[in-house]
Structure 1
Amino acid sequence: MDLYMVLLAIFGAIVLLTAWTPMLLEELPLSLPIVCIAIGMALASSPLHTVLAVNPLESREATERLTEFVVIVSLMGAGLKLHRPPGFRRWGATWRLLGISMPLTIAAITLIGWGFLGLGLPAALLLGAALAPTDPVLASDVQVGPPRSGADDETRFALTSEAGLNDGLAFPFVYLAIAMAGVQATGEPFLADWLRHDVVWKLSVGALAGWLGGRAVGWLMFRLPDRARISRTGDGFVALGITGLVYGGTELLDGYGFLAVFVAGVSVRAMERRHAYHEKLHEFAEQIERLLMMALLVFFGAAIAEGSIFGALDWRVVVASLAILFLVRPLSGWIGLIGHPAPAEARAATAFFGIRGLGSFYYLAYALGEAEFERPGALWVTVCCVVLLSIVLHGTTVTPVMRRLDGRRARNPARATPPPATRAASRARRDETAP
């Protein structure tokens, strides 16, 4: 049997499933990631099991690069979807989730890793940093709709903007874990350098490079004379070019590329919010993201079935994973949203749907390549367990929960969004809902 031809046929099947499966699952309590993992588990019993069932711990660099690429494409798509202009009040739920809920989540998971799983403090902090962010790839089912679709309620907006920003904001904590692991070997002080370089410098460069890059590309698209405008081409793959240019350029400047890519997407959208070209850009980014996600999760499912990932699974990991999904994220999300004017059911859904996914794999693979952490196998099995449970839990509940929320908003539109508190907020609301 020609292995190349078999792989080519499987790739073709994945492409077709990428296009057709979301339509088939619209009314079912299932998600595309669940189907992908099931396909991978089925293929694990085929003659291709030695090719597909790859343990991420044994292929750390490949895991890092593949997940990195799918995350940055997803971040660009998330930025392009956001019609609401940035602002303190308009993005109130986002700032609460980032400034309150995310640090609480990192602290709680670190405590679980250190006190319950028996990890050292650097490894426990790495676990917290890797599992705290809401994943922009797997959370697509609870994000706002494509540009100009009108699907921009408070829950979807909060989860989309949170997923776009917290991937970049988790990096300082990843670097803190790396620094703590290194100081155990060298004994050198690290806190001042971490604050100066990994927090202030990298965050500033990431935000500024993303904003400037997005403004520059947006100007080329929408401000040049009509004959020269890039938007006239209608090419959606421009989104991929923006993503690569902004991410690579920001990383070369020693900034956080994840943050820059999302900010660039928001900045491009802000240049001309109502232009139809945003739909083309988002559509291409979404297609590439979905294709890569399916391929990676098929490999993940095959590795699960083969047994290489969960060979060291024990009851403590399962209990810790359930606590992270059912207690840590919902409670920290709810605490962060206390006082927010959104309806209680919307705040509860926002707190619950903090989906963990491919970004967690990236953070862990990256950190393990930068420093020596104790018990890397325990870190991998815990992250994989949380991601798998999150895919199943959130994938089976997202359709009925969001349908219920949409039904309540339709019956009582006055409670759909918080009331504006100022004239500026009122003007922003009109801009958000404009076609």
Structure 2
Amino acid sequence: MFTDRSRMTGINAFFLLTGLLLFISVLASTVSARLGLPLLLLFLLVGMFAGEDGLGGIVFEDFFIASMIAQAALSVILLDGGLRTRVSSFRVALKPAAVLATWGVIGTAAMLGLFATWLLDVDWRLGMLLASIVGSTDAAAVFALLRNSGVRLNERVQATLEIESGANDPMAILLVTAMVGMLLQPETATLGSFVWMLTSQLGLGAIFGIAGGWVLSRLMARLSLPDGLYALLILSGGTLVFAATNLLNGSGFLAVYLAGILVGNRRSHATEHVLRVMDGLAWLAQAGMFVVLGLLVTPSLLLDHAFEALAMAVFLMLIARPLAVMIGLAPFRYRRNELAYVSWVGLRGAVPVVLAIVPVVMGVPDSRLLFEVAFAVVLLSLLVQGATVPVVARWLKVEVPPRDEPRDKREVWVGDEVAVDLLEYRVEPGARAEGLHPDEVAAEFGTIGVRCVALVRNGHLQRLAVDSRMRSGDSVWFVAPDELAERIARLFGGAGNELSANASFFGEFVVDPESLAGDLADAYGLVLEPQERNLPMRELLRARLGRTAVVGDRVEVGAFTLTVRDMSAGGVITAIGLKCPPPSVGH
């Protein structure tokens, strides 16, 4: 029995305060979409308002605890991000993302460091340290904002940004550690030690991440556990990989991200359970981390350095990051609009704040100045760049129309590694499916692979009969292979809207990628080079693009436009859209 009542009161007050802050943060998510503000920014603001300068008046100045909480949260966020990263995205963006994760960080930090040294009139090492702190993009911000922005980016752009943010932490940590070493112990800061540090960070991070992911993916597939324990298995295993790699001077962030990729890409009966639970844990980690970091900062001190932070943020967004991106991606034939978007979505978030804590804990002179300026730069990045992610995507035309998708999808596992897909569709007003019997929909795709298993009307299950007809608002469940999901969805979409959006982007006609380019040229009057006439259409697109194709890539052939409409998981073009010129330009 506790004898010290005041301690019990303090413990309960702590739990009350923690729950209240998280509760307010989650409720604030309903406001973020209406205000057009990133949710992560609202989490930060909740922490700041609860802090010593805000309404809560909470004094929190323990940088070590804040760093520990933030690193634990980042490991969960990176694990969840890895689980949702498809290996196919590496086919598209591994090399360019690797360049941005190395050269991109170095180049950005070098340019920004020179500017910071001049702007703040400080020792060049301090200026470079500040630039190194904010030189890398943040995985938490990139994953959250890109996947919840409401726009579907072309795969090349999205994969580049996500892989870069998941892999650039080792370089950022190296630069910060190097600058701290040059300030505190310049005699031990040698080029050899920095090269060894980078090698161990990348090498051990890759080795432990791949090995840990391989073990976890096989355990998840072979163990028979209650559904709720699979996510705990992956979370605890990811934490072990993260901590063990850090203890051996590797990059725990890189390791846990790679482990998540291996687990997420080996589908098993437990995968969906893990993804659903990890989604909630990742949101909890983001909310808790940004609230704690908001508590740590003193808003009045931010105002003291508002001009310096604004100048650095502007230089970072408009000069340093764009130049580093353009130089780094020059060999990969990105279009100008893609380069501009990758440059703009160089989001700063928790990682720069965590890195800014390092000099404070190490006792670097003027480290509080670095922390306050870095935090202000993060705030401006989330406010300006984060809030404009969807708007700029539409303006720069790097989005593609949303896929026709089922309303819901479930996997019913009938073996350790064998599942059938259960797809739900809602009958929209004016849909082709309206008025049809569910079996008539199934018959369009063959009588074997597609079967209706449930028809739900006004929340009640309907008994299927010979005279059953689907009505607007009905939910219909089919057992069907996933490759047919999009084609079935087109029968249930509302009349006109989706069709016109897709036709406007992809073109009025769908071209067989196996057909010869010469046949299409003869039919539509396309002008081709003699050597192109015998190429299949998919090879014509690949040759003219000169790079790995993604959905949405376009090639102009005279007044006509050919667009990659669909691709297989292995990167093979499976459908091509043809957009004809207006009648006044026609042939």
Query: Which of 231, 244, 247 is the matching residue for 2:239?
Result: 244
DSSP-derived class of the 1:82 partner: coil
**Number of aligned residue pairs:** 413
- Of residues 318, 321, 335, the one that matches 2:327 is 335
Call closer, same or farther: CA 1:157–1:4 in 2, change over 3 Å.
Answer: same
Paired with 1:38 and 1:150, the residues of 2 have a C-alpha distance of 28
Distance 1:112 1:367, change over 3 A: same
> Out of 398, 412, 415, which is 2:505 matched to?
412
Q: Which residue of 1 is the match for residue 106 of structure 2? A: 103
Counterparts in 2 of 1:179 and 1:26: CA distance versus 1, 3 Å: same
How big is each residue's C-alpha offset from its partner over 1:119-166, in whole Å with a ceiling of 9 and x where there is no partner? Answer: 323322322222111111122344357xxx997722222111111001
Aligned to 2:379: 388
CA distance 1:324–1:116, change in 2 (3 Å): same
Q: Give the whole-Å Cα distance in 1 for the aligned partners of 2:89 and 2:390.
A: 28
User: Residues 96 and 160 of structure 2 are in contact (CA less than 8 Å); yes or no, is this contact kept in structure 1?
Assistant: yes
Match of 1:213 in 2: 212
Alpha-carbon separation, structure 1, partners of 2:309 and 2:32: 31
Cα distance change, pair 408–261 in 1 and its aligned pair in 2 (3 A): closer
Where in structure 2 are there 5+ consecutive unaligned residues?
A: 1-5, 402-503, 508-540, 552-566, 573-587
Distance 1:210 1:167 in 2: 14
Contact 2:338–2:398 (Cα < 8 Å) also in 1: no
Contact 2:214-2:263 at 8 Å conserved across structures: yes
Answering whether residue 281 of structure 2 is matched by residue 288 of structure 1, we say yes
2:228–2:273 Cα contact (<8 Å) kept: no
Q: Which has the higher strand share?
A: 2
Amino acid at match of 2:123: G
2:260 is matched with which residue? 265
Equivalent pair of 1:144/1:153 in contact (CA under 8 Å): no
Q: 2: distance between equivalents of 1:47 and 1:21?
A: 17
More helix by share: 1
1:171–1:38 distance in 2 versus 1, CA, 3 Å? closer
Partner residue of 1:172 out of 171, 174, 180: 174
Q: Is the 8 A contact 2:102 2:171 kept in 1?
A: no
AA in 1 matched with 2:173: F
Distance 2:49 2:253 in 1: 34
Match of 1:35 in 2: 42
**What does 1:29-428 correspond to in 2, within 5 Å?**
29-44=36-51, 49-51=56-58, 53-54=59-60, 58-85=61-88, 87=90, 90-144=93-147, 153-184=155-186, 187-188=187-188, 190-196=190-196, 198-222=197-221, 224=222, 228-229=223-224, 235-270=230-265, 272=266, 274-275=267-268, 277-301=270-294, 307=300, 309-310=301-302, 312-313=304-305, 315-370=307-362, 372-402=363-393, 408-410=399-401, 411-413=504-506, 420=542
> Per-residue deviation at 1:405?
6.4
1:91–1:22 distance in 2 versus 1, CA, 3 Å: farther
Q: Which amino acid aligns with 1:261?
A: V
CA contact (8 A) 2:297 2:372 kept: no
Alpha-carbon contact 2:264-2:271 (below 8 Å) kept: yes
CA pair 424-218 structure 1, distance change in 2 beyond 3 A: farther
Moved more, 420-429 or 352-361: 420-429
**Contact 1:27–1:399 (CA<8 Å) still a contact in 2?**
no
Distance in 2 between the 1:385 and 1:427 partners?
A: 37
Identity %: 20
User: Structure 1 pair 317/79, CA: closer, same or farther in 2 (3 Å)?
Assistant: same
Deviations 1:210-248 (A, max 9, x none): 1111111112122x3xxx356966632333212211011
Kindly indicate whether the alpha-carbon contact (under 8 Å) linking 1:220 and 1:229 is maintained by their aligned counterparts in 2: no
Query: Structure 1 394/423 Cα, relative in aligned 2: closer, same or farther at 3 Å?
Result: closer
CA–CA distance in structure 2, aligned partners of residues 188 and 110 of structure 1: 22
Q: Structure 1: which 5+ residue stretches go unaligned?
A: none
Counterparts of 1:216 and 1:27 in 2: how far apart (Å)? 43
Residue 430 (structure 1) aligned with residue 568 (structure 2): yes
One-letter amino acid matched to 2:87: R
CA distance in 2, matches of 1:206, 1:257: 6
Structure 2 distance, partners of 1:339, 1:423, is: 11
1:8 to partner: Cα distance? 4.0
Q: Deviation of residue 26 (structure 1)?
A: 4.2
The one-character-per-residue Cα deviations of 1:243-281 (angstroms, maximum 9, x if unpaired) are 2110111122221211111111122233x1x44644443
Asked whether the 8 Å contact 1:321–1:382 carries over to 2, the reply is no
Aligned partners of 1:175 and 1:45: how far apart in 2?
A: 30
389-398 vs 401-410, which moves further: 401-410
Q: Match for 2:372: what amino acid?
A: V
- TM normalised by structure 1 equals 0.81
The answer to whether the 8 A contact 2:79-2:260 is kept is: yes
CA deviation digits over 1:58-93, x for unaligned, max 9?
422122112111111111111111113475654243
Contact map agreement 1:104 1:332 (CA 8 A) in 2: yes
Question: Aligned pair in 2 of structure 1 residues 233, 112: CA closer, same or farther (>3 Å)?
Answer: same
- SS of the equivalent of 2:346 reads coil
Looking at structure 2, the residues matched to 26 and 356 of structure 1 have their Cα atoms a distance apart, in angstroms, of 20
Please give the alpha-carbon distance, in whole angstroms, between the structure 2 residues aligned to 1:365 and 1:239: 29
Q: Secondary structure at the match of 1:119?
A: coil
Post-superposition offset of 1:28: 4.8
Q: After superposition, give the CA deviation of every residue in 1:34-67 in whole Å (9 maximum; x if it has no partner).
A: 322343444458997342x43xxx4221221121
Give the superposed CA RMSD: 3.7
Q: Tell me which structure has the larger Cα radius of gyration.
A: 2
Deviations 1:339-363 (A, max 9, x none): 5444433332221011111111212
For 1:150 and 1:220, the matched residues in 2 are separated by: 34
Tell me the distance in 2 between the aligned counterparts of 1:130 and 1:106. 8
